[in-house]
Amino acid sequence: MGESTGQTAVPKPAALPAQRSPILEVEIERRRQAEAVQDRLIRMAAAVHRAETLSEVYEAALAAVCSVLCVERAAVLLFDDDGVMRFKAARGISAAYQRAVEGHTPWARSDREAAPIFVSDVLKDPGLSGYASVFHAEGIAALGFVPLIGHEQLLGKFMVYSDSVRVFSARESELASMVATQVALAVARTQLLEAERRARREAEQLAEHAQRLFDSEQRAHATAQATLAIVSHDLRTPLGAVLLGSDNLLALDPEQGPDFAAGVRRNAETIKRSAERMARLIEDLVDFASMQAGRFTIVKAPVSADAVLAATIEQFTALARERSLRLSVELEATLPALRCDQGRIVQALSNLVANALKVTPAFGRIRVGARGAARAVEFYVEDTGHGLSAEELPRLFDRYWRGARANYRGCGLGLTIAKGIVDAHGGRIWAESTLGVGSRFAISLPLG
């Protein structure tokens, strides 16, 4: 073994971390901030290019400019079709402020070389002196105008606002311009997309409108064909009666004495009734056509309910007696007068009575009356016919419609015309019915 030297080994001190100079620290922080700004700009560019609507573009743009310029408030304004600069989106800006400054722009719309303008103290800028009270009320001390130029066209501007006096650096102006360029391109692109969508929607609406017109024309043609078929069928019976009556008249021998006179009267009455029936059919068609075309008119005058009922019943008394039907009138005492077109209301009520006569079997009963209602007079027709089902009631006033048990002639316009007349008076018409018991039709007319 070797001899000890008597000396103790001293450990070496640990190495100290290298000290970074203040200049290096500043440079590192500057680079970190630059990378952060670059990252925000990249994310902003991606957001605005993903946006499908202008509102999404504005939101991404405001978020980016507030972030890179370290401001809390910003706005986007665009020229409208009239050349006025108007707010499209804003952060932290009141509606009162927007109304006060809307339309202001430091550049003409035709300016292709517009550059950013920053004002460090708005109260000291002579060009903005007219807005000093507005800035004070809004708490704005400094601001910046950043043009939005897309496809060599000035679209609008970015506004950034500071609550305190502030000098915006050249780097901040450059960053704002970078944001503005991306946003202007996105705005121009989105405007084109929205214009394409509008054009597509308008084309689709035009196509739908054309289809509706075509369908309407087809329905009108089908209706015309149906009307022609119904009219030709309904006219054929009375026309045949007229022709037969005329032939009978021509065949009569004047030498028959009293029989000749009786034959003339009998055939003349047949011809008259048939001609009246054809005339009513033609009048119904004319009235229906007027209603469809919006040319149906009424002339109102003071009328008593008694006069309406009397004029209606007069037409059917003989016919009811001939068919062994009891036709009675009920009139509530002291009914107020109403303003209406008496001839048209009598026509509507007559259509209801005529239907009741058709559906009521012999020895049945029909009651026609009038009673007071809330600020109105109600006319009604009740019968003891076969009645209608609940499924049939909603279709009663449709044109050309007939119930499943209808076994009478007519073109199916009587109730439709009655409803048109009542509607023209601002009234209401409806029906109540029970199968096997009968029906009640009512017309309510306002007093005024």
Residues 44-89: tens digit of each pLDDT: 666 666 666 778 888 888 888 888 788 889 999 999 888 899 999 9
The helices-and-strands tally (H runs, E runs) of the chain is 10, 12
Nearest to 156 by CA among 108, 92, 90, 101: 108
Distance between CA atoms of 335 and 45, rounded to whole angstroms?
A: 79
Taken in order 255, 256, 260, 261, the sign of the CA dihedral is positive
**Among the residues of 52-122, which ranges form H helices?**
54-69, 95-101
Other C-beta atoms within 10 Å of 286: how many?
A: 11
The three state secondary structure string of 272-289 is HHHHHHHHHHHHHHHHHH
Distance between CA atoms of 62 and 72, rounded to whole angstroms?
A: 10
Write down the pLDDT at residue 73.
Answer: 93
Does residue 15 sit in helix, strand or coil?
coil
Give the pTM.
Answer: 0.46
Nearest to 431 by CA among 373, 388, 374: 388
pLDDT digits (tens, 9 = 90+) for 325-380: 999 999 998 899 899 999 899 989 998 998 899 999 999 999 999 999 888 999 99
Beta strands in 172-312 (DSSP E): 301-303
pLDDT digits (tens, 9 = 90+) for 148-186: 887 788 888 989 999 999 998 888 888 888 878 877 777
- Phi first, then psi, for residue 86 (nearest 5°) are -125, 150
pLDDT of 234 strictly over 70: no
What is the DSSP secondary structure assignment for residue 312, as one 8-state letter?
A: H
- Asked if 88 and 58 touch (Cβ cutoff 8 Å), the reply is yes
Write down the pLDDT at residue 275.
Answer: 78
Domains of the chain, each with CATH number or no CATH: 22-197 (3.30.450.40), 211-293 (1.10.287.130), 301-446 (3.30.565.10)
Indicate the residue type of 184: A
- Inter-CA distances, 209 with 200, 204, 212, 213, 220, Å: 14, 8, 5, 6, 16
pLDDT digits (tens, 9 = 90+) for 409-439: 555 678 888 898 999 999 999 999 998 899 9
pLDDT of 210 strictly over 90: no
pLDDT digits (tens, 9 = 90+) for 40-51: 666 666 666 666
